[in-house]
Amino acid sequence: TNIRSRLPVEGIVRASMASRAPVMYEIAKSELTYTEFTPASFVEFIIHENERLGNRDVPFAIHADHLTVKNPEAVEQVRALIAEQLAAGFSSFAIDASHMENEKNLAATVELAQPIVQAGLSLEVELGEIGAKSGSAEGFTQPEEASWFIGELVKRGVHPDLLAINNGSIHGTYFGSSQEGIQLDLTRRIWEAIHPWSVDIAQHGITGTSLDKISTFINFGIRKGNVGTLWQNVSFGFAMNQNGNAITTETREYIKPPYRGLPDELWQEIWTWAKETGNTGGNIKNANKVFSAQLNAIAATCKQRISDHAFEEALRLFEATRSVGLADSAWEFAAS
């Protein structure tokens, strides 16, 4: 679950403890640029919240999501970030060189994975840029290339746990007439192609997907799901449909009920800033950093309603993903 502000984390931790469902708390390389967090402060906050709330026996991981490498020149920057995240205490990593052609993706992934492999930590890799071509079939990951990619990684001493793919999902909000389009039949075929290496699928871009569909993910090889925008919707207090997608006007203006999320006065300040600075639509995410001090200082009553809403949404997701009660199994897996 991707965290962009402090506000929903209490509710997620409480839900994890109540349901004994393990959680991966994630932050992407891009999210480090538009949230208040550094790698060290992110780890410190997640551990602090679990300790403060009394979590002693439900396991959680701290995951470096989308370590994006868009060209070979970016490898050194990402290598430095991985070193910083390792020092901070991250326990899982996702190398994303999917913007490049497959051979360059392979080379960058092998190079960057070395310290992660040496540390014996969890590794996710990516093939097929998620959300490419706005979810059209062009650019979808294909089973044959997935088999080649994983096979070549293993030959080079890199054995990932998970493969993230382009199967029709997008990051962020579905605006206007756009609809969720995760292709589960394609996902199953990719999983079958990589399963000989015991590699499973990581599903990105889950916000806006029905719980009924999410509940079938496990049947298609999906073993990890990323949810990020939902928690931003909960924190800001946006009206959402039954799938957690923000309800917006034709001009991509968010609708905020007064009894949800932030105080209305703060939301109005944020929205005014967003319109003046070009941060409407999906770019509202940039408010997480600009207004971090104000977000952290809202009244206790508002913090509580955000926590309670996050608690309920997290429970629904844990139930749909069949994660309830898996704490002991997760401990056993970690010890194996």
**For 12-56, what is each residue's pLDDT tens digit?**
999 999 999 999 999 999 999 999 999 999 999 999 999 999 999
Residue 282 has pLDDT above 50, yes or no: yes
| pLDDT 10s digits, 65-81 | 999 999 999 999 999 99
pLDDT for res 137: 45
Q: Are 12 and 317 in contact (CB under 8 A)?
A: no
Sequence-distant (≥ 6) Cβ neighbours of residue 163 within 8 angstroms: 124, 125, 126, 127, 146, 149, 150, 190, 194, 199, 200, 201, 202
- Residue 79 CA to residue 133 CA, distance in Å, equals 28
- Residue 225 CA to residue 217 CA, distance in Å, equals 9
Topology of domain 9-228+324-335, per CATH? TIM Barrel (3.20.20)
DSSP 99-127: TS-HHHHHHHHHHHHHHHHHHT-EEEEEE
Banded model confidence at residue 138, pLDDT cuts 50, 70, 90? low
pLDDT for res 267: 98
- Residue 184 CA to residue 167 CA, distance in Å, equals 8
Residue 294 has pLDDT above 80, yes or no: yes
Q: What share of the chain is helix, strand, coil (3-state, %, to 5)?
A: 50, 15, 35
Q: Hey, is 17 helix, strand or coil?
A: helix
| pLDDT 10s digits, 156-179 | 999 999 999 999 887 778 776 677
Q: Report which DSSP code applies to 27.
A: E
| pLDDT 10s digits, 193-243 | 999 999 999 999 899 999 999 999 999 999 999 999 999 999 999 999 999
Sequence-distant (≥ 6) Cβ neighbours of residue 28 within 8 angstroms: 2, 64, 65, 66, 68
Q: Among candidates 225, 208, 229, which has minimal Cα distance to 216?
A: 225
H or E, element range at 235: helix 229-236
- Residue 289 CA to residue 34 CA, distance in Å, equals 5
Q: Note the Cα 109 to chain centre separation in Å.
A: 19
- Residue 235 CA to residue 70 CA, distance in Å, equals 31
Write down the residue that tokens 């949404």 correspond to.
Answer: 313
Long-range contact pairs involving 190-196 (C-beta distance under 8 Å, separation at least 24) = 190/141, 190/142, 190/143, 190/146, 190/163, 190/165, 190/221, 191/220, 191/221, 191/222, 192/143, 192/221, 193/143, 193/144, 193/146, 193/147, 194/146, 194/147, 194/150, 194/163, 195/221
